[in-house]
Amino acid sequence: MSAAHSQGLQITAVNSGRPWPLGASLSGEHRVNFSVVAPEATRIELLLFEHGDASEAAATVDLDHDHRSGDHWHVEVSGPGIGLGTCYGYRVFGPLQAGGHGFNPSKLLLDPCARALAGWSSYNRALAVGAIPNTANALKGVVTERDRFDFASAPRPRHSWQRTVIYELHVGGFTQGPGSPVAASRQGTLLGLIDTIPYLKELGITTIELLPVMAFDPQDAPAGRHNHWGYSPLSWMAPHPDYLIGDDPLQARTQVRELVRAAHQAGLEVLLDVVYNHTTEGSQAGPTLSWRGFADRLYYQQNSRGDYLDVSGCGNTIAANRPLVRRLILESLRCWAVELGIDGFRFDLGVALSRGEDLAPLDDPPLFEAMEADPELADLKLISEPWDCGGLYRLADFPARRVAPWNGRWRDDVRRFWKGDDKSCWALGQRIAGSPDLFHATTTRSGSCITFLTAHDGFTLADLVSYNQKHNLANGEDNRDGDNHNNSWNHGIEGPSSDHAISSLRNRQLRNLLATLLLSPGVPMLLMGDEVRRSQGGNNNSWCQNNPLGWMHWQPDPGDLDLHTFVQRLLILRQQLAPLLNPDHPCPHWHGVELDQPDWAAWSHCLAWSLNGPQRQPLLWCGMNAFHRAMHFDLPPSPSGWLRVIDTGLPPGEDLPAEPSPWEPPGTPLESRSLMLLVAPGVLAP
């Protein structure tokens, strides 16, 4: 029975049901158990629909005290037409909270545990506010299977942190654009992403990280715009309908599994960017779609007056410290990891999940404790932003042992050095050494720390070297949105330039930045399209740009292809050097333009470092010159000589050749704003 049209629905029996599992689950032929959490509700109605766009329910079941176990309301319904594909929703009755928000029985509610959605084409966010019934324009849940992913035929790749290279991409944006390798009918979809796997494999990454693919609300945006990135969750269980092919919700989970299976068979891990810190319901004046209508006081952090507390910047903050909320988030993680095969998660504003009552920071947040103790989640990669919009920033002391934090300090300090800022040389040295000033002796944490130059939120790499200021007018917010502190530099003129000197310097800086990323300890992350100089025209917050501005650059010119080749070779080099680029290896030996004489002064723009083997013989040497003039660097003696692997002062193709060339002089000149890497023979053996 398809959720798009399930004629003949008829209830023949209603039983009390059971409180677990949450959501809608098959309990026999033509029999489904429904369970939701609503601690302060006084009455609940379960509505069953013939199809997702039905304006009226085909049947309504009243739940009374016989259908309640503590905070859980449950019922088992059976009859012809009931089973896989049945569409359903709830009306929940109860008292209003202080401030006049909370229960609103005029609204049809989406089950927070629904694993698929229906009614997408008729959904209207605006009608979820106020007292007018919205049944005809509300989302419905869909009864689905809960089968486990077939790991036997497509096991997890399980790349070690040391070997991992992450590529962050947007499913809709990466599969679209002129020249895309994805067939027109599959562009913008999860299945279309399968067609890009050969490109990703050829590039050399190990892991793809997808911007939100849990169902989000495109209508959660200013008038005339729509939410493209997806940081406005409608559901923590259901795949986003716009990323699917066809209109049968029962195919949603199948298509996610097909993508994960294809990625696993190609040796690629799949991570999801997940948003548990807030929902699309916004502030207390926002729409009643799901969580708010079931348990407003439970899910959202509020003060005694009922005002929402907000450290997400989106109007509300999820109370992840509470047991029932924690269980729902864990259920979501298991849904995606165990049932759909996902290999890990990146938590948006993840440190917000470590806050307790009144938003107090917790050193032992119960959600992360439960996550790390769950055997079903034990083999996943867990990543988090260590900050939230309330000013909490816990990088070195992120309150979860297995979570790898994004190192925003690494991004900022590396940008500042290559930009030529004063007081940046010492900071760069700390980042190259694995950030010992931040992590101290916690080598496990620093080894799994995520290092990155760019991410979806901010300038692309090409724009980082082409713009001094953000250019976000296309977003319709008078250029107020987006970060104002980008540590970017346009190198002489704002935006595109035909000046050869400017374009040549920009291209050299791209290589300097990328080489620094992939020669540093930690887990490197690349942003989609940075390898082919993808630009957003200086827009550093393209969250509402579902157009070429937010799409992949699939028609590279010769200069773009030169950088692509550089990145490919750099990623091969990264894997060859991976054993050396970890916190367990001895700290780099520091030099300046003279051996053993690092210059940490505020005005210094030059740094060199070497790594030595067990007998103190040098294995590699790297020189970095961010000064505006060429500088001569002394080299440590290597008994077997040196091989020049990288020299960004050379023309494209020669800057990182397929085969390194011998390098004999006792010293070397480094072009202004360039990087050179020398290695001893034998170090790069596969």
Q: What is the pLDDT of residue 198?
A: 98
644 with 503, same domain: the answer is: no
34 with 176, same domain: the answer is: no
Each residue of 368-386: b (16+ CB within 10 Å) or e? bebbeeeeebeebbbbbbb
- pLDDT band for 446, please (50, 70, 90 cuts): low
| 668 in Cβ contact with 676 (< 8 Å) | yes
21 prior amide bond cis, ω within 30: yes
Whether 657 maps to a domain, the answer reads yes
Q: Which of 508, 542, 577 is the endpoint of a domain?
A: 577
State the Cα torsion 561-567-572-578 to the nearest 10°. Answer: 180
| 185 in Cβ contact with 64 (< 8 Å) | no
425 with 405, same domain: the answer is: yes
Site of tokens 């999860």: 190
d(CA 173, CA 179): 13
How many Cα atoms sit within 13 Å of 668 on the Cβ side? 27
Dihedral sign from CA coordinates of 453, 459, 462, 467: negative
**Across the chain, which distance is largest between two alpha carbons, in Å?**
89
Structure tokens at 648: 């960004």
Percent of the chain at pLDDT > 70 equals 97
Whether 181 maps to a domain, the answer reads yes
Q: What element of type H or E holds 618? A: strand 618-625
Whether 686 maps to a domain, the answer reads no
- pLDDT band for 582, please (50, 70, 90 cuts): confident
Helices and strands (H and E) in the chain: how many: 14, 26
79 with 195, same domain: the answer is: no
Sequence-distant (6+) residues with CB within 8 A of 282 are 220, 314, 315, 316
Burial of 155: CB neighbours in 10 Å, binned 0-12, 13-18, 19+: exposed
Question: What mean pLDDT is predicted for residues 212-225?
Answer: 95
At residue 356, does pLDDT exceed 90?
Answer: yes
Whether 546 maps to a domain, the answer reads yes
d(CA 43, CA 36): 12
At residue 445, does pLDDT exceed 70?
Answer: no
At residue 2, does pLDDT exceed 80?
Answer: no
Which range of residues forms the domain containing residue 607? Answer: 589-679
Question: What one-character DSSP code corresponds to residue 550?
Answer: G
138 with 241, same domain: the answer is: no
Report the alpha-carbon angle 379-384-389, nearest 5: 160
CA nearest to 169, candidates 199, 135, 131: 199
Q: What is the pLDDT of residue 5?
A: 40
User: How many C-beta atoms surround the C-beta of residue 471 within 10 A?
Assistant: 17
Crossing angle of the two packed helices 558-577 and 500-518, in degrees rounded to 10: 20
Q: Which of 543, 577, 611 is the endpoint of a domain?
A: 577
Each residue of 426-453: b (16+ CB within 10 Å) or e? bbbbbbbbbbbebbeeeeebbbbbbbbb
- pLDDT band for 493, please (50, 70, 90 cuts): very high
Least reliable range by pLDDT among 111-120, 166-175, 251-260, 580-589: 580-589
Q: What is the pLDDT of residue 315?
A: 96
277 with 404, same domain: the answer is: yes
One-letter amino acid for residue 338 of the chain? V
Q: What is the pLDDT of residue 587?
A: 83
| 88 in Cβ contact with 107 (< 8 Å) | no
- Where does 377-490 show beta strands of DSSP type E? 381-384, 403-405, 450-452
| 187 in Cβ contact with 244 (< 8 Å) | no
pLDDT digits (tens, 9 = 90+) for 308-327: 999 999 999 999 999 999 99
Structure tokens at 461: 């790499």
Q: What is the pLDDT of residue 4?
A: 36
Sequence-distant (6+) residues with CB within 8 A of 127 are 134, 137, 138
Looking up residue 620, the CATH number of its domain turns out to be 2.60.40.1180
- pLDDT band for 500, please (50, 70, 90 cuts): very high
Burial of 121: CB neighbours in 10 Å, binned 0-12, 13-18, 19+: exposed
d(CA 265, CA 151): 11
| 65 in Cβ contact with 105 (< 8 Å) | no
Whether 607 maps to a domain, the answer reads yes
448 with 299, same domain: the answer is: yes
Q: Which of the residues are catalytic?
A: 348, 385
96 with 138, same domain: the answer is: yes
Whether 505 maps to a domain, the answer reads yes
Q: What is the per-residue DSSP string for 15-79?
A: E---S-SSEEEEEETTEEEEEEE-TT-SEEEEEEESSTT-SS-SEEEEE-GGGEETTEEEEEEES
Q: What is the per-residue DSSP string for 621-671?
A: EEEEE-SSS-EEEE----TT-EEEEEETTSPTTTSS-SS-EEE--SEEEE-
Q: What is the pLDDT of residue 583?
A: 65
CA distances in angstroms from 449 to 162, 389, 398, 636, listed in the order given: 10, 21, 11, 30
CA nearest to 376, candidates 411, 407, 338, 342: 338
569 with 593, same domain: the answer is: no
pLDDT digits (tens, 9 = 90+) for 161-215: 999 999 999 999 999 999 999 999 999 999 999 999 999 999 999 999 999 999 9
Whether 151 maps to a domain, the answer reads no
- pLDDT band for 395, please (50, 70, 90 cuts): very high
573 with 535, same domain: the answer is: yes
pLDDT digits (tens, 9 = 90+) for 633-662: 999 999 899 999 999 999 999 999 999 999
d(CA 319, CA 367): 10
39 with 108, same domain: the answer is: yes
- pLDDT band for 101, please (50, 70, 90 cuts): confident
Question: What mean pLDDT is predicted for residues 296-315?
Answer: 95
pLDDT digits (tens, 9 = 90+) for 64-81: 999 999 999 999 999 999
Looking up residue 64, the CATH number of its domain turns out to be 2.60.40.10
Structure tokens at 589: 């030996």
CA nearest to 520, candidates 450, 468, 618, 613: 450
Percent of the chain at pLDDT > 90 equals 90
pLDDT digits (tens, 9 = 90+) for 450-479: 999 999 999 999 999 999 999 999 999 999
At residue 442, does pLDDT exceed 70?
Answer: no
Q: What is the pTM of this model?
A: 0.96
Looking up residue 204, the CATH number of its domain turns out to be 3.20.20.80
Per the structure, how many domains does the chain have?
3
Q: Which of 110, 142, 174 is the endpoint of a domain?
A: 142
More confident residue, 448 or 146: 146
259 with 126, same domain: the answer is: no
Whether 217 maps to a domain, the answer reads yes
At residue 443, does pLDDT exceed 80?
Answer: no
